Amino acid sequence: DRLFELGYEKDVRNIVEVLRKHKNASDNEKVVQTILLSATLTSAVKELAGLTLTDPVFADCRDSGVVNANYDSIEDSNEIDAAIIPSTVQQTYIIVPPKLRLVTLSGLIAHEIDHRNNKIFIFMATQALVDYHYDIMVAVLARQKSEHESDSEKELDEDEDMLPSDDEDVEDGLLPGLKFFKLHGSMTQVERSSVFKEYRNAKAGVLLCTVSV
């Protein structure tokens, strides 16, 4: 379903067709079983199931036992979403121009932390977005040194006289002391486990991560 969202529908269809031809041409009498697993039950998944599966059976593992239902009973994404979203989850959205997304996100984080001292998950599409927003928020909102800044300290030492002295007042960040964390697929398992453990033990914090983590 993620490949469909990214525009690879034609490629997926070609792969499925090649597999079907290979199966028909094979002398192997073993039965091939195809299983489609997805954490997001949407109309796109239903379309993908219709492409790759023959007379499929829907299995829902939300209950204690496995519940089987006819594939045709999955009517549309609205009914599916209503079935899988917990009643305790409140969903809201804000429509903003692209150039205001960063400042809007920063304002939402500040509002939540100021009023509730919460832990916040922020899901982003790519690793680059996670790294970009992490560096900005650490440097601007929390007034801390990001990893990139720490790595370049040696280069800045040569221009130390150009930096503000200790006696100069440095403007506090919007959320001074707030801890930011990041997770994405390019990090090692040890790094990810360490970050998640630190985030879990924190009283408040913001975790930026990719949707695949």
Domain ranges of the chain: 1-85, 98-145+173-210
DSSP string, 113-140: HHHH--EEEEEESSHHHHHHHHHHIIII
Lowest-confidence segment of 34-48, 59-73, 155-169, 173-187 by average pLDDT: 155-169
Residue 95 has pLDDT above 90, yes or no: yes
The DSSP bridge pattern shows strands 180-183 and 205-210 to be: parallel
Identify the pLDDT of residue 101. 92
Q: Report how far Cα 61 is from the mean position of its chain's Cα atoms.
A: 23
Instruction: Report whether 98 contacts 105 (CB < 8 A).
Output: no
Lowest-confidence segment of 122-136, 167-181, 194-208 by average pLDDT: 167-181
pTM over 0.85: no
Residue 73 or residue 22, greater confidence: 22
| Tens-digit pLDDT profile for residues 14-52 | 888 888 787 776 666 666 777 877 776 677 677 777 777
CA 101 – CA 110 distance, rounded (Å) = 14
What's the chain's average pLDDT? 75
Whole-Å CA distances, 84 to 20, 75, 92: 32, 14, 17
Give the residue-averaged pLDDT of 190-213: 89
CA 203 – CA 176 distance, rounded (Å) = 15
Closest by CA position to 213, among listed 149, 129, 95, 107? 129
Residue 169 has pLDDT above 70, yes or no: no
Residue 120 or residue 151, greater confidence: 120
Residue 141 has pLDDT above 60, yes or no: yes
Identify the pLDDT of residue 190. 92
Side chain identity at 203, as an amino acid letter? K
CB neighbours of 137 closer than 8 A, spacing ≥ 6?
106, 109, 180, 206, 208
Residue 63 has pLDDT above 60, yes or no: no
pLDDT band at 9; cut points 50, 70, 90: confident
Residue 130 or residue 61, greater confidence: 130
Identify the pLDDT of residue 183. 93
CATH 3.40.50.300 is held by the domain 98-145+173-210 = yes
pLDDT band at 86; cut points 50, 70, 90: confident
Residue 109 has pLDDT above 60, yes or no: yes
Which string of b and e fits 125-143 if b means at least 16 CB within 10 Å?
eebeebbebbbebbbebbb
Instruction: Report whether 113 contacts 204 (CB < 8 A).
Output: yes
Percent of the chain with pLDDT over 70: 65
Identify the pLDDT of residue 151. 53
